[in-house]
Each structure stands twice: as C-alpha cells, then as structure tokens.
C-alpha cells in the first residue's frame, strides 16, 4: 500500500499492519480493517471498536466528538495570515497543533479558511491532517468534511466538477440524475480526502420567503423531495462518502435565517409528519450515514423553547426512537446565532450531547466547548458511557468509509477522478434537463443568432460560488458568443443605481436583444426598475432568474422568462444553450410561484414549464 506525503505527493511505503497499528495501537484493531460490517459480524466489529474506545483517555474521548475549522492550505506550514487567524480563534498555529492539543475527531474545510485552493493541495492537506493524527498516541484517522451541496453552496471549486444544485435537480425531476450527481460529487471529494459531505438538503421549501434554504432545497412537494434525497444519498455513499441529510427536523418553512436569528416553525405535529418528515424518513431508509440538526424551535415537537439541536424529545424521542435512526447525528455549526440565543457557548455542547448528538460542529471557541464537555463528565452531568455511545457511532462510520484501513489519498487518484472530461460532460447533460422556461408568450425564444446577432447581457452579479469563472453576466455572454452570437456583458448588480440603469438602457439601444439576470426581485427594488426600463426600449427582453424562480411574479411585463436556480457556470451555460435553441427547455417548477398581488393565489403551479 502507498500513502502520499503532504508536501510533494511522493509515495512512501507503509505496510497495512503498520498503518492499522498506528491507528489502533493493538493487533486486535488490525482485524477491523475498513470493510463494512456484515449483519452476522456487527457485534464482533463493535467489540473491537469498543476496545479502541476503552484505551482512550477522557481527554481523547472528548476530542473525538468535535469537528473543527482550521485556517490554512497546509497541515503544518500555512501562510502567516492563517497562523494568525488560528492563534486568534483557536489558540493553535496549525491543523497539526489543533490535533495534538485537542485530538479532534473531525475537521471541516472552508474556502474562506483557505483549505480548498486546488485539488492537489486539498489532497495534501488531507494527508497532512491524517499523518498528524496518526502520529499521536492511540491516534485515529480524522473524518474530514465540507459543505459541497453544489449549486449556490460549494466549498471546492474548479477544476473540480460543479453540478446543478438541489432545486435545479428538482426541476429536472430525474432520480437517476440526482444519484449520478451525488456519485460524481462524492467520488471527487473522496479523491481529495474528504469523506463526509454535508449534503443533501432534506428541507422542504414551502415558504418562498425562506432566506436560508430556498434553492438549496429540491422543492416544495414532500414526496418529490424525499425521492430526490434518497437518490442523492445513494449516489454519495456509493462513492464511500458519508452523506448528511439536513436540517432535522426541517428548516423549510421559516422567514428567519438561523445564522443570525432563532427561527420558530409553527407546524403542528401532523403538519410536520406530512411536510417535513418524509425526506428524512427516505434518507434513513436509504441508509443515510449522518443527519445534521437545525437550530430551530418547533413547539409542537418540543414546547420547552429549546432549539432542535439541544432537544432530547426531538433528537432522541423522534429521530432515534420514532424514526429508528442509529447513525451519526451532527450539529449545524455551533457558531450560529440560532443555537446561541438561549444558552452560553459553554452549555450548548453539553446540552447537545444530552439531547443525543454525536458530533459537535465548529464551536466558536473550541477551548470553551471542549473544557465544558470535559468538566460535565468529571462533574457527573454527562457520563463517560454517554460519550462512548457517540464515539462508537463515529468509529463505525470511519470504519465503514475505510478510514481505519487507509485514510490517505494520492495525486494520481485526484488526476484520475477530479474534473475529468466525463464528469464535466455529465454535469452539462444533467444541467440541460433542469433549465425551466416559465414564460414565452410571443415565441421570443429561442433566439436566432442570424436574426438577433447582437445580444446585451445585463443583470445581477451576486458573490460567486467557489470556482465560477466570473460574474454571471460575463459567463452567460461568453457562452452565447461561443454559440454564434455577438454578446456583450454589462454587470448592473443586485441593486442598480439610476446611473447604472441609464447606462444599461443606452447600451440596449444598440442590441438586437437583451438578456437580464434577476436575483431576488422585490416590488420596490431597483432590479424591477431596470427590467421595466429595458422593456420600455422596445427591444426584445429575456429575463433569467439566476436564483429563486419566484422573481417572475414581480415582472409581469416580461415576454420570455427562464429559471436556472443558480448562477454557477454549469447552469448558465445550460441556459445559454436553451436561449440559443440548442437544447429544449425540459425543467419543470419544483415549487409553486404565487401571484405578487395576491400571494394566496398561485401564478404558476408545481410542474409548470414550457417547451419549444
């Protein structure tokens, strides 16, 4: 067996026995391997894993429960700015020091933490983390995770394959596409050493005003969402990457973002069972490896006023006992306001464990959280046996993913897997089946590059997900130019000024057609003014909702309207092919769009979509 060194990727020989001995510390652990346990030997595997647990110190056990962020592209030699950030936020200089001091069981990657520059660097970082952990006494492999939902949430960017997000896949309504997307995404994460993905989102987006879920959800129909969630779970886990359905018990009906506030879900218990529960039931039936909690209050499920993350009635009573789930439960980030409103940062991790959580994700101050759990055990509020239950679940997962057999990856594996032509072509094919044509009242689409050669692309330019090649207007104009148009981009932003609108209107006078990208249009917002003034020029105007499809309700004068559900390259290129008539629009709305003047009435129902 070969493992790769962190710095150069040069192979060094490590015997399987040596690696497992380093992992477990005893010959008994060698038999554990990384092979998933069969039903008839599960108890034998558990005995071996429990033997590993029995040799841990209390401090090591506490560390295994935490999944922590760390700044830097390298486990041992990050840039000075990242060292400074680590010292300020965590009290350590590097990932290696984090592991040595706290013995964390997991590390989460973020682009903003400079963990995900490129695939080879990510693989080297992963190997460096594993080397640092296995070098410790009784060292265990680290479960490395990230949020790679695709669509608008992607921590690993190009040259990795970026795929359509959940609502786009919901518009395509193909389970095989959802599963294939999960398999591709999972295989690429696996090649870079990331073995737990916080996806798919299992929330049912029944509230158009939802500020935090929206297009991250597959849609508003619980049964359709359940089918897509199950397909994605199977796709990710076929690549030996743990899928994570989130956010239990369901974050789809809120107008509050739990990053900044404390949402309250007013569903009755019967409504929860009908609307929110089906995707989680489907995920469990599909063998989901982990489930993430939500920092929301659901009084019908727990009247105490506690967030679900800290609710024993919800996590143990419903998730464990009623739904029969015995996999890993991970919190959403403990730095979010929704879980910090009622209790201090020292109480939150203790209460989460008492509620039934197994992994404590990204506390704002690790020393506070780590010491709080340690003191709770020493003081008798938590038992060591309770910690052992969670550690056993985490070790079962690490075992099932093969980490106890070989946690290392290689540059060769990255090159064989990440961003391959086959994966990129598959992403384009999947995206072609998601673009949704909502309005085409005068047959404006498709545009002809012969009749309408000069195209002006204007519109919103929100912050781009990792790895996109530029602002949406530029990406779309480039794609249209490649399809035979002469396209010019003019970025007008999400809140264009009067001067910017005037500039766009003047530019439209010289165009044969105008395409305008919209992003969360409101009745009084300047994006609506921009579109109205472009329509007043008399030029053909095609509007493109690059995030929420609900924008169309605010712009009744538009004769042609498309929805892409994201502004990533893969979805904008697909939209360009639809605009040019190279691909027939095949997507269908996975959410209803209500009328702007009467939200009680539906303008376009679930399933609406036009074809050429």
Q: Which residues are catalytic?
A: 259, 332
- Integer Cα distance of 272 and 277 in angstroms: 6
**CA of 404: how far to CAs of 23, 199, 318, 400, in Å?**
7, 23, 31, 8
Q: Residues with Cβ < 8 Å from 383, sequence gap 6 or more? A: 377
Give which of 356, 360, 290 is closest to 68, Cα–Cα: 360
What DSSP state is assigned to residue 34?
A: S
Across 183-207, b (16+ Cβ under 10 Å) vs e yields bbbbbbbbbbbbbbbbbbbbbbbbb
- Integer Cα distance of 244 and 246 in angstroms: 6
Please, are residues 198 and 143 in contact by the beta-carbon 8 Å criterion?
A: no
- Integer Cα distance of 203 and 219 in angstroms: 8
CA distance between the termini of the chain: 55
Please, are residues 151 and 168 in contact by the beta-carbon 8 Å criterion?
A: yes
Instruction: Classify strands 602-604 and 593-594 as parallel, antiparallel or unpaired.
Output: antiparallel
Q: Residues with Cβ < 8 Å from 372, sequence gap 6 or more? A: 345, 346, 347, 349, 350
Give which of 306, 238, 313 is closest to 269, Cα–Cα: 313
CB atoms within 10 A of CB 113: 19
Across 16-46, b (16+ Cβ under 10 Å) vs e yields eeebbebbbbeeebbebbbeebeeeeeeebe
- Integer Cα distance of 345 and 463 in angstroms: 31
What DSSP state is assigned to residue 550?
A: G
What DSSP state is assigned to residue 69?
A: -
Cis peptide before 491 (omega within 30 of 0): no
219 — alpha (psi -120 to 50), left (phi > 0) or beta?
left
């Amino acid at each position: 067996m070969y493992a790769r060194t962190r710095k150069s990727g040069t192979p060094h020989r490590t015997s399987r026995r040596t690696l497992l001995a380093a992992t477990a510390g005893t010959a008994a652990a060698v038999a554990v391997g990384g092979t998933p346990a069969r039903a008839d030997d599960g108890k034998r595997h558990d005995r071996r894993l429990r033997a590993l647990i029995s040799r841990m110190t209390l401090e090591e056990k506490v560390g295994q429960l935490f999944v922590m962020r760390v700044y830097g592209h390298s486990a041992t030699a990050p840039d000075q700015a990242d060292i400074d950030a680590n010292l300020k936020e965590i009290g350590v200089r590097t990932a290696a020091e984090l592991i040595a001091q706290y013995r964390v069981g997991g590390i989460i990657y973020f682009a903003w933490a400079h963990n995900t520059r490129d695939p080879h660097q990510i693989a080297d970082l992963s190997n460096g983390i594993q080397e640092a952990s296995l070098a410790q006494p009784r060292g265990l492999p680290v479960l490395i995770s990230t949020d790679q939902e695709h669509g608008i949430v992607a921590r690993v960017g190009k040259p990795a394959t970026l795929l359509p997000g959940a609502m786009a896949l919901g518009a395509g309504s193909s389970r095989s596409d959802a599963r294939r997307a999960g398999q591709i995404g999972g295989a690429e994460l696996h090649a870079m050493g990331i073995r737990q993905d916080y996806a798919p989102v299992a929330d049912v987006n029944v509230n158009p005003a939802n500020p935090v879920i929206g297009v991250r959800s597959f849609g508003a129909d619980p049964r359709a969402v359940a089918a897509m969630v199950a397909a994605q779970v199977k796709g990710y886990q076929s690549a030996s990457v743990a899928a994570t359905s989130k956010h239990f018990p369901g974050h789809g009906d809120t107008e509050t973002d739990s990053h900044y506030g404390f949402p309250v879900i007013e569903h009755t218990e019967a409504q929860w069972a009908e609307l929110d529960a089906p995707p989680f039931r489907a995920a469990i039936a599909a063998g989901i490896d982990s489930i993430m909690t939500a920092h929301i209050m659901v009084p019908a499920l727990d009247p105490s006023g506690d967030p679900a993350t800290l609710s024993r009635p919800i996590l143990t009573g419903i998730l464990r006992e009623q739904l029969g789930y015995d996999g890993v439960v991970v919190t959403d980030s403990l730095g979010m306001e929704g879980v910090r409103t009622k209790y201090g940062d020292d109480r939150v991790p203790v209460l989460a464990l008492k509620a039934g959580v197994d992994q404590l994700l990204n506390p704002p101050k690790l020393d506070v959280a780590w010491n709080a759990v340690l003191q709770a055990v020493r003081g008798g509020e938590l038992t060591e046996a309770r910690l052992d239950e969670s550690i056993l679940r985490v070790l079962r997962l690490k075992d099932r993913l093969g980490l106890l057999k070989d946690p290392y990856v290689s540059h060769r594996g990255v090159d064989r897997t990440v961003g391959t032509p086959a994966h990129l072509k598959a992403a384009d094919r999947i995206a072609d089946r998601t673009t949704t044509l909502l309005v085409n009242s005068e047959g404006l689409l498709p545009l002809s590059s012969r009749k309408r050669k000069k195209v002006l692309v204007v519109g919103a330019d929100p912050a781009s997900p990792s790895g996109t090649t530029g602002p949406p207007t530029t990406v779309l104009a480039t794609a249209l130019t490649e399809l035979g148009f002469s396209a010019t981009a003019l970025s007008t932003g999400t809140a264009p000024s009067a001067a910017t609108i005037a500039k766009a209107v003047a530019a439209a006078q010289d165009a044969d057609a105008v395409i305008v990208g919209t992003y969360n249009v409101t009745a009084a917002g300047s994006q609506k003014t921009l579109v109205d003034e472009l329509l007043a020029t008399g030029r053909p105007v095609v509007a493109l909702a690059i995030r929420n499809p609900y924008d169309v309700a605010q712009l009744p004068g538009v004769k042609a309207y498309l929805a892409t559900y994201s502004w990533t390259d893969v979805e904008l290129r697909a939209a360009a092919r639809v605009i040019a008539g190279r691909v027939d629009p095949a997507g269908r709305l996975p959410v209803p769009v209500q009328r702007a003047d009467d939200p009680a009435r539906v303008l376009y129902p679930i399933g609406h979509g036009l074809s050429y």
